[in-house]
Amino acid sequence: MYQIGDKVVYPVHGAGWVEAIENREVAGCNRSYYVLNLPFNSLRIMVPQEEAEKVGLRDLMPPETADQVLRILEGKQTESEMSQTVRELNLEKWNNRFRLQMSRIKNGNVYELAEIVHGLTVRDRLKPLSTGERKIFEQAREILFSELLLISDDAQPETASRIKNILDLPN
C-alpha cells in the first residue's frame, strides 16, 4: 500500500510519485485510486489500488540496483552477467525482437529494461534501427531514465554523478 508522496514506477510509462489517493464511483462501485504524477512524460494516471500489483506498480529501485543498472548501460557487465534479453536482441526478424522487447518492458524488470536500452544503443551505432525498434528504444530509455533521474536526488553522490554522466546532464 502506497502513501501520498511515495516514489513509484509504472512499467509502461515511467517513474513518478503518488500525488493523491482518491475515492471514485465507477459503474456503481466505489473504488480507491492512486493518482500518479509522472513528470518525465507529463502524465497523470489513476490506478485502482487493488490493481496496482497486477499492473506492475512498484517502488523505485534501491541504490544497489541502480549501480548494476548503470553498469549495464555503460556496457560493463561480463558475458556471464548478460541475460537472455541481450542475446534475443540479435534475433533475425525485427518483429520477433519487437514483441520480445515489448513484453520485457511491460514486466517492469529494471535489469531487462537496461539491457534493452544498452543493446539497442549498440545496435543503433552499427545499423540504424527500424521505426518499430526506434519506438521501443525511446520508450525503454524514457522509462528507465525517468526512474534514474528520480532516484538521483536520493542516491549517494557517486551514483548521482554516474547517472548524470550517462545521461549527459550538467553536474
In this predicted structure, what is the pLDDT of residue 77? 60
In this predicted structure, what is the pLDDT of residue 7? 95
Helix H, strand E, coil C: the string for the chain is CCCCCCEEEECCCEEEEEEEEEEEEECCEEEEEEEEEEHHHCEEEEEEHHHCCCCCCEECCCHHHHHHHHHHHHCCCCHHHCCHHHHHCCCCCHHHHHHHHHHHHHHCCHHHHHHHHHHHHHHHHHCCCCHHHHHHHHHHHHHHHHHHHHHHCCCCHHHHHHHHHHCCCCC
In this predicted structure, what is the pLDDT of residue 90? 58
| pLDDT-derived band at 51, boundaries 50, 70, 90 | very high
CATH number at residue 48: 2.40.10.170
pLDDT digits (tens, 9 = 90+) for 105-128: 888 889 989 988 888 888 888 888
Q: Are residues 54 and 66 in the same domain?
A: no
CATH number at residue 129: 1.20.58.1290
Question: Structural domain of residue 91, as residue ranges?
Answer: 61-166
Q: Are residues 52 and 86 in the same domain?
A: no
The verdict on residue 171 lying in a domain is no
In this predicted structure, what is the pLDDT of residue 59? 94
Q: How many domains does the structure of the chain reveal?
A: 2
In this predicted structure, what is the pLDDT of residue 34? 97
Q: Are residues 139 and 160 in the same domain?
A: yes
pLDDT digits (tens, 9 = 90+) for 58-97: 999 987 888 888 888 888 765 545 555 555 555 567 677 7
Query: Mean of the pLDDT values across residues 24-53?
Result: 92
Q: Average per-residue pLDDT in the chain? A: 82
What pTM was estimated for this model as a whole? 0.78
Q: Are residues 50 and 104 in the same domain?
A: no
